[in-house]
Amino acid sequence: MDVKERKPQRIYQAWRGSNTFVFGGRLVFGPDVSPLFFSTFLIVGPAFAFCVKISFIIKHRTNRNETALPWCYVLTVAILLTILDLFFLFLTSSRDPGIIPRNTKPPEYDETFEIDSTPSMEWVNGRTPHLKLPRTKDVFVNGHAVKVKYCDTCLLYRPPRVSHCSICNNCVQRFDHHCPWVGQCIGIRNYRYFYMFITTSTVLCVYVFVVSWINLVQTKGKATRAMSRDILSDFLIVYCFIVVWFIGGLTVFHFYLISTNQTTYENFRYRYDRKSNPYNKGIIENFREVFFSKIPPSMHDFRAFVKEDDIMAIEATDDDVAKGKIDIEMGNKFDDEGDNVLSLPKILRGVEFEGIEDILEHEGGSERADSDRFVVRVEVVANAEEKNAMV
């Protein structure tokens, strides 16, 4: 299509991640919004049943000319907690968690950085020049050296505390984790709301659990008899008892992470077990950073129109992907962060070999011998391809 005939696109329409956009790019969800509806059902269902139960108690006391004002307060608090919980859930799942803009081309190769390579790796690099980029660089944060990793998908060096979510296919600032219950990444722009969501859920569970027990005990002190008749209260007690162990445990765990200024991703990878945490500012400052600091604005205006130069650069990159220069779907392996472990030219994709990952990662000894054998096999295949082309 000619450039003049190209229909203008908004950024959310040309988005290369896996996000789902609603209301013309005003709301940003994860790839699958079904977990959000399921989590909503897990909150609204029991809360609605509890409110119905309290409403019957209020009606029963009113009919008997007994005071029902305390139970009206109980019902009001339950409704407010439920609305607040759903509000934080919506804020967590529907906003940009802190997505880093992608590059349309790899950064320039800096010759001051060196990487180890085997002869086979040099051969591959000759066909795919972008792999000459060093995999990591060192930057200093508060006097501590921190390694930043190159992202093959976003074509950039990730800033400190940025990781690539393989589910949403984006690099996210202060990436904590991808939450399956909200269907969204948890990052610098929605972590505050995520913690308020799980905290409010914990408070709501404890509230329903305690009030349900009080209701049973107040039935003339015969809790056992009341339990055999009040099936709804029995269900709410069991449900809240089970859920509070999970959601409450998660709340306590994240309270610890905030106190030490860690993310779930860093904690699970034992980042600070053997070295000091350069981001830890003390408990008070850590909490102030999460709850009382200004949330940074989104790096994307998803409703803005894509520039023609950006569209052409994206299409050029897609052509390279189709040709195997920056291959995403064929001949490549990716780790859990979306990093390209190995990008092979087309001629190598049909070759069967063993130990290539060890060859690319190590030098010397038997690995060097395996590398030489690999190069010989490549040359044989290459010669066969040339002969077939001549015939």
In Å, how far are 32, 66, 93, 188 from 183, measured between CA atoms?
A: 6, 46, 7, 16
pLDDT of residue 322: 43
Q: What was the pLDDT predicted at 186?
A: 97
Residues acting as catalytic residues: 179
Q: What is the pLDDT of residues 323-334, one digit of tens each?
A: 443 333 333 444
Convert the pLDDT of each residue in 154-208 to its tens digit.
Answer: 988 899 999 999 999 999 999 999 999 999 999 999 999 999 999 999 999 999 9
Could you report the per-residue pLDDT of 107-143, keeping only the tens digit for each? Answer: 765 543 444 333 333 333 443 444 556 777 777 776 6
pLDDT one-digit tens code per residue, 14-71:
898 999 999 999 999 999 888 999 999 999 999 999 999 999 989 988 888 888 888 9
Q: Indicate the pLDDT class of residue 255, thresholds 50, 70 and 90.
A: very high
User: Do 358 and 367 form a contact (C-beta atoms < 8 A)?
Assistant: yes
Contact predicate 174/98, CB 8 Å: yes
In tens, the pLDDT along 174-188 reads: 999 999 999 999 999
d(CA 381, CA 391): 16
Round the average pLDDT of the chain to a whole number and report it: 76
Residues 189/173, Cβ–Cβ less than 8 Å: yes
Beta strands in the chain, from DSSP E residues, in sequence order: 20-22, 27-29, 136-141, 144-151, 156-157, 163-165, 170-172, 177-179, 184-186, 332-334, 340-343
pLDDT at 251 over 60: yes
Residue among 184, 163, 169, 182 at smallest CA distance from 18: 169
Nearest to 130 by CA among 99, 161, 152: 152
- Under DSSP, is residue 129 helix (H, G, I), strand (E, B) or coil? helix
The pLDDT of residue 109 is: 56
Instruction: Please tell me which residue, 298 or 225, carries the higher pLDDT value.
Output: 298
Q: Are 105 and 116 in contact (CB under 8 A)?
A: no
Q: Which of 89-93, 128-132, 147-151, 170-174 has the lowest mean pLDDT?
A: 128-132
Tell me which of 278 and 348 has the higher pLDDT.
Answer: 278
Residue with the two structure tokens 């803009």: 101
pLDDT for residue 143: 63
Q: Is residue 32 within 8 Å of 183, Cβ to Cβ? A: yes
pLDDT at 349: 42
List the domain boundaries for the chain: 8-99+181-291, 102-158+328-391
Q: Note whether 342 and 357 are within 8 A (CB).
A: yes
What is the structure's pLDDT at 232? 86
Q: How many Å separate Cα 263 from the centre of its chain?
A: 12
| Predicted local confidence at residue 317, as pLDDT | 52
More confident residue, 341 or 372: 341
Q: Judge whether residue 3 has pLDDT over 70.
A: no
Q: What is the pLDDT of residues 373-389, one digit of tens each?
A: 433 343 434 444 444 44
